Chain A
């Protein structure tokens, strides 16, 4: 069964600090990997999408990496802001249509002033 595991489950850091969220997946076949940000009470919003051939992609202060050999991805947040407080969900697309997305449970990030 395709699975996406994220760590840590939750994280608290001080405003201005950096942090890295981890995603390990056992999804086959692999098409692409996506990171979403989900604010409390809102739907997920796409941050990055990476294919097999891409090993890093940035979106402002967010940088995602992908190692397709080890089936690991990370999301690095630089100079965190209070508005970064949210759940970050790793999603892997295996192809095959609408049900080809496997969602992780997310990392709940809290930025403290």
Chain B
């Protein structure tokens, strides 16, 4: 596709359930970022991949959050034992170059996660 694709667009989970969110970046993009966006807030950084290497996971809020990009393209963000405070939109972004000053990110539409 022409842009960053995320699936599912909406996910409703019961508290304690595990969820997996998928991101298909733009083909050939080196960098992939995950962000968490609470209602009415700006995106908050979660983690960053350069190809298949997870170079920064400093933003992951707890060890219940896990991300992978095993072949350097598609990425999955997994949240174990979901809690109500995990409810948010999870945005994925990719960029052609490594993270840096000139890095232009292209965002997906996000996955809206609601934990009941």
Tell me if A99 and B41 are in contact (CB < 8 A): no
How far in angstroms is the closest Cβ of chain B from A53? 13
- Whether the pair A97, B41 counts as a contact (CB closer than 8 A) is no
B108: A residues at CB distance < 8 A: 43
CB distance from B99 to the nearest CB of A (A): 4
In the complex, the answer to whether B104 meets A99 with C-beta atoms within 8 Å is: no
The CA-CA distance from A104 to B42 in the complex, in Å, is 5
| Mask of B67-79 contacts with A, CB within 8 angstroms, 1/0 | 0000000000000
Chain A hits for B56, CB < 8 A: 97-99
**A interface, over-half SS:** mixed
Q: Decide: A43 and B42 in contact? CB cutoff 8 A.
A: no
For the complex, what is the distance from the CA of A90 to the CA of B95, rounded to whole Å?
19
Interface residues of B (CB under 8 A from A): 4, 31, 33, 40-45, 47-48, 55-56, 58-59, 91, 93, 99-101, 104-110
30 sampled A-B residue pairs with Cβ under 8 A? A31-B101, A42-B107, A42-B110, A43-B93, A43-B106, A43-B109, A44-B91, A46-B104, A51-B101, A89-B42, A89-B43, A91-B42, A93-B101, A95-B100, A97-B48, A97-B100, A98-B33, A98-B45, A98-B48, A98-B55, A98-B56, A99-B45, A99-B48, A101-B45, A103-B42, A103-B44, A104-B42, A105-B40, A106-B41, A106-B42
